[in-house]
Structure 1
Amino acid sequence: MNTQEVVLETPLGSLRGLQQDGLLVFHGVPYAMPPVGARRFAPPALAQPWAGERDARHRGAIAPQTPSRLAVATGDFEEPQDEDCLTLTVWTQGVDAARRPVLVWFHGGAYTSGAGSLPWYDGSRLASEGDIVVVNVTSRLGALGYLYAPGVSPGNLGLLDQVAALEWVKSHIAAFGGDPLQVTVMGQSAGAHAIALMLARPNAEAPLAQRAILQSAPLGVTLYDLDKAKGNGDFFLRALGIDPDDPRARELACQASIKQILDAQTATTLHVVQQSSPGEPGALPFIPIADGVVLPTPGHMASALKGAAGKLDVLIGTTRDEATCFFYGNPAIEALTRAPIPEEDAARLAARRPGGSAGRLLMDFVCEQVFLWPSLDWARRAAQAGRNTYLYQFDWAAANRDLAATHCLELPFVFGTREAFAAAPMMAGADTGRVDALSAAMRASWISFIRTGNPNHAGVPPWPPFEPARRATMRFDDVTGAVGDLAGDSWRAAPTT
């Protein structure tokens, strides 16, 4: 790899980045002030100009976090952690006046793990193949991002971080060769969910993007109301050794070490899991909340999301077996003799998967309820609003049949980062030639959508737009093609209000 150093003058200051094989990359670019000290548990404040030259040659720190629960599928990672993590990574072919389309990436991880700076999400192939500017966002996670405790933290801080990142893009991406009027937001799992929530904010200004790519969005997840969120917050503070009613609670919480924060976060998560229903996949104490300020109240959340679906052109889809990694290796799930789901759903799913175990039927049910049906409904509403709408399903399956086409499996294909996922169990035993061929086709579709709002290109069969009466779906597998009705009978059983 041919690497040279470059210096870019931006309105906020000088950045020393890298030029690698004709592509420019700038790491650790601040979009907000560091949320440290008294700024812990405070809303983000936009980045201020700096003096001198800022080193942008090395990946930025990731948000403090515990190991991902999905490492059983994706593998794990070791990266430096720091509260000073509100940064971006930017890839571009040139810092000129070309005004390239912009892609802004929001990673998944259940709002508790991951980072935009991980090699998994390296944007170099998308940037070079599509001549687009790729911006990866790292934001606060877990309790530091989503604690709700009156007088200590208002909640939804990680979501506000992501809004601040989009505001930075609007104001500063032109200095990196990007067009602030051609922005596509893309996210997977929690990242896709966050995009939907940002679009649902009450009294939000015009959307800070023109298109959206939503991969495996858990749109069926119900947000906490203030009472439930406060209960989780009170438990967290007590786990830190702080009385929630202590007038100094915020001061004490800001003084706690990162280890203490993460230990209390783990204790709170265990508490919530112990209170959850058998087989419930979520049970996460630190996620966005329906607070009536940043997001609508619980009573208005559903209608706000319905309206949000019509705001942007969208490419949306799921993997075929989203839920397998959430239950993988869980002896309680393997021991089930009856899936804890409604009888009519169990009968329908059993007919679709003859011989399927109770645990596997539960996984199919969670896939439908949390991911598939809500994504189909989002597509329907977007199409009805006149938006360019394209639906996909990722069917390529892992060699491990218990994982199959699991959650996160499309990521190395979309980014072309097979090498970065070399240790991922979900990629074990994969034929690299087949992976690379499918990856190239998917990247070209994603790039085409980012550039034109249409994912069609010469390398895939025709991909018709989604329409409520003609639910065309592109199925990505070794044999890729569009089908007329993704979910068949199960979609007809889904709620459509």
Structure 2
Amino acid sequence: MTTQQHKGIHTFQTSFGTISAIKENSVIRAKSIRYARSQRFKKPELLEYLGNHEIPDKTPVCPQNISPLLDRLIQKTEVKQFVPDESPQFLTITRPEHFYDDEKLPVIVWIHGGSYEIGCGDLPTSDPSVWVKEQDIIVVSISYRLGLFGFLGGDEERPPNLGLYDIIAALQWIKKYICEFGGDPENITLFGQSSGGDAIAHLMISEGTDHLFRRAIIHSAPLGFRINRQKMSSEFFRKTDFLKGEPDPLKMVESYSDFLPSFRKYGLKTSMPFCTQYGHPPLCREEKALEKWQQNAGKYDVLIGSNKDETAFYVKTAQTGIYTYLPHRILNKIVRKTTESIYEKPAKTFAENLAAGGGNVYQFVIQSKLKNNYIGASHCVDLPLIFENKEAWQSAELLKDVPWEYIQENGQKLRALWAEFARTGVISEDSERPEILKLKKVKN
């Protein structure tokens, strides 16, 4: 690999092709590199050679509906910055501007959340530049198929888990080419939040993932939603069958939401209608999953945890529905119960199961220490701590009562710990902890 510099532009000469990248704020970012292509409802085909890659004007994303809730929670979606692409297999590499030629930096692969329905890997609110500069790491942010295109299926014509296959293809690409960008292909850590964390958990037991990564950092994975989904998924699959031949992917995503209310009979899991599906490649049957995780426990170092008040934003800031009429003490009980059932208890079971299999496992909780923070440590509050970007997060209602200095102080310490884990698989007892963090090694 050779690197040329010219007016803020870097060019990587690699065996994959000539890759143009942006140099700014002491990092180099190679944005929206296509790693695979796919046809509708087909597995991705990994690219072997791209040719010339130019810096794109807009970020490609899987076709999706805009979420008014996330617009309030995090940031209003600027639609003009994105372009829908039904084959959204792209990745962005962010690495330090300066390092030694023979240095092989730890690689962290960011797998975004969004209920397997919305989002992409390359967003201002998941900009890893600060983390990359502080810790001398490489972060690769990946995008993959979502919703109807990636996480709903039931037969050979519309197979499930295509989004999972996209992620596997991205990991294969990273394993092969990241050394040409200064990364260590033998030290790859997957880092995911929400459904991204759920995806990582299932990559640990997927066919075809051996030796693609060594470590996993799993934030706020809704593992309580992973079980007993077959009936709901089958009904959703049948009711959306008429959309499979729709030539306009945007019409597809506009139409499927009409069928979501009928799933309320399936309980809380209807809030995440798309998910990985057991019993279909690359996954085992649901009843074999815990056994499979335990069998694979020795392959991966795992850091898993959640926020103390995961469901608080959804419950306490609801603008319609029953939550708007309930007193605070009842809302607090709802937050505690749903956080425990969807996130905390399943994470504890997951961690203890891995430890019983001989795995190296840490478990954490992020909590708020601010007195006047009404929603506390809600879902996604960990993101600005890791991806410090004041401009991107300044309008987030999630941080309404949180001073930015509090985010900076705690975030810097948290980023250092997570980078330590990514380098070594260990977090030293002597390493400084932020006050918001409770962390323990899970023992067998």
- TM-score of the two chains, using structure 2 as the length reference: 0.88
Q: Tell me the residue number matched to 2:29.
A: 25
Secondary structure in 2 aligned to 1:155? coil
SS of the equivalent of 2:46 reads coil
The C-alpha deviation readout for 1:172-225, integer Å capped at 9, x for no partner, is 111111111000110001000000011122x44524111111111111213466
Task: Supply the distance in 2 between the matched residues of 1:298 and 1:390 (Cα, whole angstroms).
Answer: 24
Task: From the superposition, tell whether residues 334 and 136 of structure 1 become closer, same or farther in structure 2 (CA, over 3 Å).
Answer: same
Q: Say how many residue pairs are matched.
A: 430
What is aligned with 1:8?
Answer: 12
2:180 maps to 1:181: no
Q: 1:389 aligns with which of 361, 366, 388?
A: 361
State the partner residue of 1:256: 247
What does residue range 203-222 of structure 1 map to in structure 2 within 5 Å? Answer: 203-222=207-226
Of 415, 422, 437, the match for 1:443: 415
> For the residues of structure 1 that align with 2:187 and 2:441, how far apart are their CA atoms?
31
8 Å Cα contact 1:414-1:443 kept in structure 2: yes
- Alignment CA distance shift 1:227-1:322 (3 Å): closer
Using the TM superposition, give the Cα deviation of residue 231 of structure 1 relative to its aligned residue in structure 2, in angstroms. Answer: 2.1
1:332 has 2:322 as partner: yes
Aligned-pair CA distance for 1:149 = 4.3
Question: How many Å separate the matches in 2 of 1:333 and 1:57?
Answer: 43
Give the conservation status (yes or no) of the 8 Å contact 1:14–1:54: yes
Equivalent AA in structure 1 for residue 107 of structure 2? V
Matched, 1:140 2:112: no
Is the aligned partner of 1:377 residue 2:349?
A: yes
Q: Is the 8 A contact 1:141 1:158 kept in 2?
A: yes
In 1, are the aligned partners of 2:363 and 2:441 still within 8 Å (CA)? no
* Cα distance in 2 for residues equivalent to 1:98 and 1:59: 32
Residue 26 of structure 1 deviates from its aligned partner by 0.2
Closer, same or farther: CA 21–259 of 1 in aligned 2, 3 Å:
closer
Alignment of 1:46-61 (within 5 A): 46-51=46-51, 53-56=52-55, 58=57, 60-61=59-60
> What's the TM-score, normalizing by structure 1?
0.79
Q: CA deviation at 1:293?
A: 2.4
- Please list, as runs of the form range in 1=range in 2, the aligned pairs for 1:73-88 lying within 5 A after superposition: 73-78=73-78, 79-80=81-82, 81-88=84-91
Q: Distance in 1 between matches of 2:92 and 2:429?
A: 28
Residue 64 of structure 2 corresponds to 65
Provide closer, same or farther for how the CA distance between residues 272 and 256 of structure 1 changes in structure 2, counting only shifts above 3 A: farther
Q: CA deviation at 1:366?
A: 1.4
Letter in 2 for 1:431: P
Flag the structure with higher strand content: 2
Shift in Å, 1:63: 1.4
Shift of 1:100: 1.0
Q: How far off is 1:306 after superposition?
A: 4.1
Give the alignment partner of residue 431 of structure 1, picking from 399, 403, 407: 403
Quote the offset at 1:454 in angstroms: 2.4
Deviation at 1:65, TM superposition (A): 1.1
Percent of aligned pairs sharing the same letter: 27
RMSD over equivalenced CA pairs, Å = 2.8
Contact preservation (8 Å) 2:363, 2:440: no
**CA shift digits 1:358-399 (9 cap, x unpaired):** x43222111111111121222223334443332221112678
Say which one has the larger Rg. 1
Could you tell me which residue of structure 2 aligns to residue 403 of structure 1? Answer: 375
Confirm or deny that 1:276 pairs with 2:295.
no
What runs of 5+ residues in structure 1 fail to find an aligned partner?
A: 241-252, 338-354, 462-474, 486-495
Instruction: Give the aligned residue type for 1:85.
Output: P
Q: CA deviation at 1:458?
A: 6.5
Q: Distance in 2 between matches of 1:208 and 1:50?
A: 22
Which residues of structure 2 form unaligned runs of 5+? 1-5
Q: Which of these residues, 287, 296, 302, is aligned with residue 284 of structure 2?
A: 296
Retained in 2: the 8 A contact 1:416–1:436? yes
The amino acid of 2:196's aligned partner reads: G
- Distance across 1 between alignment mates of 2:352 and 2:404: 35
